[in-house]
Structure 1
Amino acid sequence: MVRAGLSPARPVGNLSRVYRFLVSHRWAGYAAAALATTAVMVLLGDWQWQRYEERTARNARIAAGDNATPTPLGDVLARPGVGDDIGPPPAADQEWATVAVTGRYDATEEVLVRGRTVNGSVGFEIVTPLVLADGTAVFVNRGFLPAPPGDASARPVVPPAPTGQVDLSGRVRFSESGPRPVQRRNGRIEVRRISLDQLARELPYPLFNAYLVLTVQTPLADPALAAVPIPTDNASQSGAYAVQWWVFALMVVGWFAWSVRREAHRDGNRHGGASAATTGTERNAHGPHVR
């Protein structure tokens, strides 16, 4: 006898029969698709979270260098070896470090980096080698000049680099990827990317494997050169994307579980109706039951 208000427990045999549809080709395909979609979304979330951590660490290095006491260049970047065109690559955590160095500019090997945008203006970044006392050199990005009106490729009038000894500090930047042709136009080098491996082959002295973005200089930098801004990354955007992908993955799992439950309920009703019909037929065959 069943207690009022309670539903009878479904027999294990009926339960397995209700979920038997899961082994069908159609539902096996649904399960595989849901599993693959969930795995892809989880991996995309992990990738975005990794970008969030990398950007957060990069922003922290930039912020730490804003007020840091400059470190001597040789303590941060390895000097080129004897007979080498360029020094060894720096450690990944050295980018954006603030360093101090003393030397003399070599304006004859100055590089104009075209196609740059600063504060909405297109123009050139002026990168000049600073030759140290030991004969090695490091490129210094002295600043930005907008292109002449009407022609973004026309060369501007570049303020000359200071002569004599120069003391400066700057932020370490790594060589830019994507090799581009090195052109000499009227004796001056022009490039689209600051690819130090390529530029080192154009110079008569060994080069450090990083360049500096000028922050402070003695003698003072020419005011016509605009300071190149230090960019920061939007780390929170990558973090939000990571959470979004993971939520999508949970939604797929939830959708599949809901679909399975709905199909099982539908099958359960069919089997329950069939059982009730069978029981009624058996009762009619045996006649009414009299207590």
Structure 2
Amino acid sequence: MYRFLLTPRWLGLLALALVAATVMVLLGNWQLDRYHGRTAVNERIDAGLRMAAVPLRDTLPAPTGGPGTAGPPPAQERTFTRVTVTGRYDTDNIVLVRGRTVESRVGFEVVTPLVLADGTAVLVNRGWIPPAPGGAMAQPQVPPSPAGEVTVEGRVHASESGNARVARRDGRLESRRVSVPQLAGELPYPIHGAYVLLDEQTPAADPVFKAVPVGHANNWQNLGYVVQWWIFAAMTLVGYGWIARREARQSSGTPDPLPRDLAADPSPSPQESR
């Protein structure tokens, strides 16, 4: 009854169904890996909010190169660790990161190098401020940085990816991203391989700064894709089996069963209606 499945046509259909189902299962596995990765990031973000601050050097290796170079990035499990570090802000090399949105408003994030006692520096994202009147690209009036030593407490944030041009406009550096390696080339000292997202500062930061929120990754979306791809894989194999069964019934002369409503209440013939 099912010998037709050994014909080249049906063997080809089986191979196609198996390949399609395999690809869908692999896509589901890939989304499952992304779900686990994003879940781990969210757990580190939450842990960073609860933990006590540790010295920067316990989390982020010091740079070993010369001026204009960046140190090694932090280990993945160290990102979003809360750290504390003391130094002096370099107000001559403030970086304005444009096109950043906080509370549905577009403005600038202000990143300032904090120069440490050993001559190295770490970039500190001090917060978000609105643009000057005239549009979202108008350079803001940045509040003055505290003079003297400043103690910063915040979370280690990995360098942002992407190739964003760094330019100097009106004496300030501007970029679209906090790309540590690219910004390092514009600075006269070696800098650490990640930046610090400011939570607290002593002396206190100017109240015009708004804290930059750390958004959680949408890991549940990835889990939904996992279920979707695996269901598609199962439907592909079930569909092949259903088509093969129908072909077998037609070959053997067995009619397909009528739908239940038609079998229970057949429509009257023209003769019966008379």
Relative to the length of structure 1, the TM-score reads 0.84
Q: Partner residue of 1:260? A: 244
Which of 51, 59, 74 is the matching residue for 1:76? Answer: 59
Q: Partner residue of 1:246? A: 230
For residues 208-287 of structure 1, what are the structure 2 equivalents within 5 Å? 208-269=192-253
- What's the CA shift string for 1:246-272, capped at 9, x where partnerless? 1111111111111112212222338xx
Which of 147, 169, 180 is the matching residue for 2:131? Answer: 147
Q: Which has the larger radius of gyration?
A: 1
Q: Size of the alignment, in residue pairs? A: 253
> Which moved further from structure 2: 168-177 or 259-268?
259-268
Q: Partner residue of 1:206? A: 190
Q: Partner residue of 2:2? A: 19
Distance 1:39 1:146 in 2: 51
- Long gaps (5+) in structure 1: 1-17, 271-291
Asked if 1 retains the 8 angstrom alpha-carbon contact of 2:54 and 2:84, the reply is yes
* CA displacement at 1:28 relative to structure 2: 2.5
Q: Partner residue of 1:44? A: 27
- Three-state SS of the structure 1 residue aligned to 2:63 is coil
- Three-state SS of the structure 1 residue aligned to 2:9 is helix
Which of 54, 59, 64 is the matching residue for 2:37? Answer: 54
Which of 64, 87, 97 is the matching residue for 1:113? Answer: 97
- What's the CA shift string for 1:101-151, capped at 9, x where partnerless? 001100101100001111110111000000001111000000001223451
Asked if 1 retains the 8 angstrom alpha-carbon contact of 2:65 and 2:71, the reply is no
Note if 1:34 corresponds to 2:28. Answer: no
Distance 2:164 2:220 in 1: 33
Which of 78, 83, 88 is the matching residue for 1:94? Answer: 78
Counterpart amino acid of residue 240 in structure 1: G
* CA displacement at 1:32 relative to structure 2: 2.3
- Long gaps (5+) in structure 2: 255-274
Counterpart amino acid of residue 57 in structure 2: G
- Three-state SS of the structure 2 residue aligned to 1:208 is strand
> Which moved further from structure 2: 19-28 or 207-216?
19-28
Moved over 4 A (4+): none
Q: How well do the aligned residues superpose, as a CA RMSD in angstroms?
A: 1.4
Distance 1:58 1:123 in 2: 26
Relative to the length of structure 2, the TM-score reads 0.89
Q: Percent same amino acid among aligned pairs?
A: 54
- What's the CA shift string for 1:213-239, capped at 9, x where partnerless? 000111111110111011111212211
Distance 1:21 1:152 in 2: 68
- Three-state SS of the structure 2 residue aligned to 1:172 is strand
